[in-house]
Structure 1
């Protein structure tokens, strides 16, 4: 069957797996340790760190901390903290990660319908793989189809840089405009937009974790600022969103 969408690319954290808050719980202590080490008096709660850096990996977060608080970390120090964070977060996810409601059922439908899929994440690959394995969806994504801006790329990157999306498309042999992706954050959505990949904004996670008002705010942001082709409130609506993207592509 000839389809408008040749490849379904998917973010992982808070898109397929409810992992973002768990990850930030694990890395808040490290972030505050860095601030103390560099004589910065400010400290972050998990909620504050999430609000400020959601959608970024820990390397990107450290860059942001340096910019916000006017200090400098040496490359070796950054690399060391990246390693510490990967271990801490991976262990947390292995214990507590759960799926975004309904995601597994939709992945199975996509597989049955013959849509090839890949994960394109800003997070370190061990962390992504741990999340996928914990919720039992790793078999939908062969190891070579899990792309990480923090691990796959050299030098490492972080969304909103589109580099990981462009790399994945090149490796998979598809043009960005032939794909669709699902993103939940401004940084991830911006990366997709900059790469030229039509994207669906998933906002159901915000209702789960922060309530209906936050869900509405993110739906508006992802649509008006980032250009989402459709908004996904629950994974059960995915096929309808996908059909909308394919319809839009057919009219180009």
Structure 2
């Protein structure tokens, strides 16, 4: 493998959070009259900042948007994570095969990353190599988070490969000078390809792809 470092996104790449997170947005928004379609949200909310999602919901609510909406969302989604969250199939095996440094870089807050990775048994694997956009106040599609993560591990963008599942994440990686592989499915494959990702559909495929680089 030509890469010296692997940078993983968290949600949807390491842990299967997206249905839970976006489903919670949709349920809460629709109770306020937002009428958001779940399938639409799974495409258009994927990888977006919390602020973007909340603004979208708030504009469509027919009832007043509660000031503690974010607090309610965190409580509801975190409780669901604790009960049903799973690691992405094959990702533990993939990580066990890596013989180069790796880390995780997410638009989500650090405490969310730590909780979710602990639930699925990956917290010790990543240890102090978890990087949050909240720490530098710059969010994907800005490439700053990936550049920050690479620098902390002692690498340049051209030394690294990013693993993403959202178009904003791919855009951030490409604009930062990183190669990027997109974890694709029927919802996101067109957007990932459009932004310049090399697509794969299962984690065991990625292991083979990385070895061939």
Normalised TM-score (structure 2) = 0.85
Match of 1:49 in 2: 41
Deviation (angstroms), 1:235: 0.8
Give structure 2 stretches of 5+ with no counterpart: 62-66
Tell me if 1:219 matches 2:186.
Answer: no
Which structure has more relative contact order (CA 8 Å, sep 6+)? It is: 2
Q: Which has the higher helix share?
A: 1
Deviation (angstroms), 1:220: 4.2
Q: Distance in 2 between matches of 1:231 and 1:55?
A: 17
Deviation (angstroms), 1:65: 4.4
Give 1:75-224 correspondences, 5 Å limit.
Answer: 77=67, 80-110=68-98, 113=99, 115-142=100-127, 144-149=128-133, 151-154=134-137, 157-203=138-184, 206=185, 214=186, 218-223=188-193
Q: Distance in 2 between matches of 1:109 and 1:46?
A: 36
Is the 8 Å Cα contact of residues 56 and 123 (structure 1) preserved in structure 2? no
Is the 8 Å Cα contact of residues 180 and 200 (structure 1) preserved in structure 2? yes
Deviation (angstroms), 1:32: 4.4
Segment drifting more, 95-104 vs 165-174: 165-174
Q: Distance in 1 between matches of 2:13 and 2:204?
A: 13
SS of residue paired to 2:131: strand
Is the 8 Å Cα contact of residues 24 and 73 (structure 2) preserved in structure 1? yes
Segment drifting more, 12-21 vs 53-62: 53-62
Is the 8 Å Cα contact of residues 103 and 235 (structure 1) preserved in structure 2? yes
Normalised TM-score (structure 1) = 0.73
| Alignment match of 2:18 (pick from 13, 17, 20) | 20
Is the 8 Å Cα contact of residues 93 and 131 (structure 1) preserved in structure 2? yes
Tell me if 1:237 matches 2:193.
Answer: no
SS of residue paired to 1:42: coil
RMSD over equivalenced CA pairs, Å? 2.8
Deviation (angstroms), 1:117: 1.0
Is the 8 Å Cα contact of residues 183 and 199 (structure 1) preserved in structure 2? yes
Q: Distance in 2 between matches of 1:134 and 1:124?
A: 16
Q: Distance in 1 between matches of 2:19 and 2:118?
A: 18
Q: Which has the larger radius of gyration?
A: 1
Q: Distance in 1 between matches of 2:56 and 2:71?
A: 18
